[in-house]
Amino acid sequence: MEPQKIIFTPNPGEALANVARSIAPDALFILCDTHTRALALPVIAEALPPSTQYIDIEAGDTHKTLEALAHVWDELSRHGASRKSLLVNLGGGMVTDLGGFAAACFKRGIRFVNIPTTLLGAVDAAVGGKTGINFNGLKNEIGAFRPADAVVVSTRFFHTLPHEELLSGYAEMLKHALIENPDTYHALLDYDLSNPDWDRLLLLLEESVQVKQRIVAQDPCETGIRKALNLGHTVGHAFESLSHRRGKPIAHGYAVAWGLVCELLLSHHYLHFPSDIITGLADYIYRHYGAFAITCKDYETLYELMTHDKKNEGGHINFTLLQAIGHPVIDQHADKEQIFVAFDLYRDLFKL
């Protein structure tokens, strides 16, 4: 599989115009949510032709639904989209996931471009070809592998993001660094995200995305090494799903941050991952992300949620664990008792 075309640029409008010229679609559609329509669209508006059609969906992961997906298809049909049309997904991970899936299915596939407007979207959702929607209360339960024809990445969209949104994306960068090497990991711990140097962040982001890009090129459909990118996500998705059941949704990146700590605790038990690195990461996560509150009464629910994870095989909950920074080990199983021990240790580290 050829590496996905990813453009890192200070001028996203110009980059999109160049991509559109090379594709030469018969119609251009821009998919926004209610936030990106107001905050992000003006950044690229001057580069868009007058004939551009706009599709709006509600913001937030709770709207990554079959109903929102059908709305996109309805709008594409109503405005005469063909297999030669181009859909541009302008937004965070929710928009690029849903929009990519809409494009992958509409008329059996039309071209699409992702322009992530959040750090999380840039480092994770917009790159790698995973598309989908939530279904029956489960994250990304329905979807397809379909890489965007291009991804345009610019930190210009991040200037208006709340600090919590930057932190959410930064957790995925920490995950990539843990998979990659100690130098990358420590560079991220040393970067001051509270006072961002945007040019420096773009360089760190490019390095982080390249980690994912190399892995995806080797394993586009997640049958082997791509599973390394799921580090922190088995527990993280369970935390996220539990937060939705409570009616108090947490950001995906925050869930991954807390999930990383839990899965490194499992890594210590099964693969002897160094405990001092876990303690250091837990301290960093606690200072910047706070804690996701759980009690022993939540353990069974969290375990049940993990049994629905798409990575599971043969009735076993499947984890990616680390032997050391830069040394992921895929297809690892943990017994229920040890998962509960990890939850106990997580609560100790996060003062719960």
CB 1 within 8 A of CB 220: yes
Is residue 267 within 8 A of residue 273, CB to CB? The reply is yes
Helix 182-190 / helix 198-218 crossing angle, nearest 10 deg: 150
Calpha distance 97→81 (Å, rounded): 20
With DSSP H G I counted as helix, E B as strand and the rest as coil, what are the percentages for the chain, rounded to 5? 55, 15, 25
Q: State yes or no: pLDDT of 316 exceeds 90.
A: no
Q: Which residue ranges make up each domain of the chain?
A: 6-160, 163-349
Amino acid at 329: V
Summarised one tens digit per residue, pLDDT across range 95-111 is 999 999 999 999 999 99
3 by DSSP, 3-state: which?
A: coil
Q: How confident is the model at residue 21 (pLDDT cuts 50, 70, 90)?
A: very high
DSSP H or E run through 328: strand 327-333
Question: Per CATH, is 6-160 categorized as 3.40.50.1970?
Answer: yes
Task: Report pLDDT for 126.
Answer: 63
- For residues 194-220, one letter each, b for 16 or more C-beta atoms within 10 angstroms of the residue's C-beta and e for the rest, the string is eebeeeebbebbebbbebbbebbeebb
**Residues linked to residue 6 through DSSP beta bridges, in sequence order:** 151
Chain mean position to CA 74:
26
Write out pLDDT tens, residues 130-188.
899 998 888 788 999 899 999 999 999 999 899 999 999 999 999 999 999 999 999 99
Q: Name the CATH superfamily housing domain 163-349.
A: Dehydroquinate synthase-like - alpha domain (1.20.1090.10)
C-alpha–C-alpha distance, residues 138 and 327, integer Å: 30
SS3 (DSSP) at 84 = coil
Among 128, 129, 124, CA closest to 104: 129
User: Which pair of tokens denotes residue 191?
Assistant: 């970067």
Residues 6+ apart with CB under 8 A from 335: none
d(CA 198, CA 28): 30
Q: Please report which confidence band the pLDDT of residue 125 belongs to, taking 50, 70 and 90 as the band edges.
A: low
Look at 126 and 170; give whichever has higher pLDDT. 170
Q: What is the pLDDT of residue 217?
A: 86
Q: What is the pLDDT of residues 258-294, one digit of tens each?
A: 999 999 999 999 999 999 999 999 999 999 999 999 9
